[in-house]
Chains A and B, each alone.
Chain A
Amino acid sequence: MITLTEAPFEPGALLTAFCAGRDETGAVASFVGLARAEGGAASILELEAYPGFTESAIETFAVEAAERFGLQSWRIVHRVGKIAPGEAVVFVATASKHRRAAFEACDFLMDWLKSRAPFWKKEHGPAGARWIEPTAQDRTDAQRWD
């Protein structure tokens, strides 16, 4: 399930809920991405989504990933709007029978979310605001799976 939210979320609570009631899941892997302050250069991160379109693109990709890695389930929560340094931007959790699939699928989903998901990212800092494109590293990370 994918949720976009403008409100801050608590990653621990999401992980607890995701782990609840499982007696055939051997492994849950999770990842939490936090907004960095970049040594004061970034005071606010702003993420824009296209409501409906963005969720649907993420859902389609995650369903494919679940099939590829044989996941039992997955959960993605992503912030949109203005995000302060230290706040969680993204939460990804994957569940599978054994750990390798859960780890790899979580890594795979994050590489895609960081480089190809339909978001537009703006960094506001003392020097003004600038739109951010994916880094060369983000692209290389995503290409590992192609």
Chain B
Amino acid sequence: MARVLLFGRLADQAGWREREVEAESLAALRACLANDDAELAEALAGPGVQVAVDKTLVRGEAVLAAGVEVAFLPPMSGG
């Protein structure tokens, strides 16, 4: 089970900010989210969206251990 966090416009689009998802890889997690909301999954794979696993940025695929935190970060705006 991974804890998924959405930030910025992604959270607005999804209508949620945090959700538990059963997935053992990032690809599986994306597929699981796409089943529920295809438009959201597309936005999560969109340009400039970064992924952090347990607060470390990752590129491409990642294996998800139980209880990890997966954050989808839209382009950062600065303060």
Contact = CB atoms under 8 A, between A and B. Distances in A.
A114 B79 contact: yes
Contact of A121 (B5, B71, B79): B79
Contacts, number: 55
B79 A117 contact: yes
A50 B7 contact: yes
Contact of A53 (B12, B55, B78, B79): B55
Contacts of B55: 50, 52-53, 56
A113 interface: yes
Given A118-B76, A133-B77, A134-B77, 12 more contacts: A48-B7, A50-B55, A53-B71, A114-B78, A116-B76, A116-B78, A119-B79, A120-B76, A121-B78, A121-B79, A131-B77, A133-B75
Interface of B: 5, 7-9, 12, 52, 55, 71, 73-79
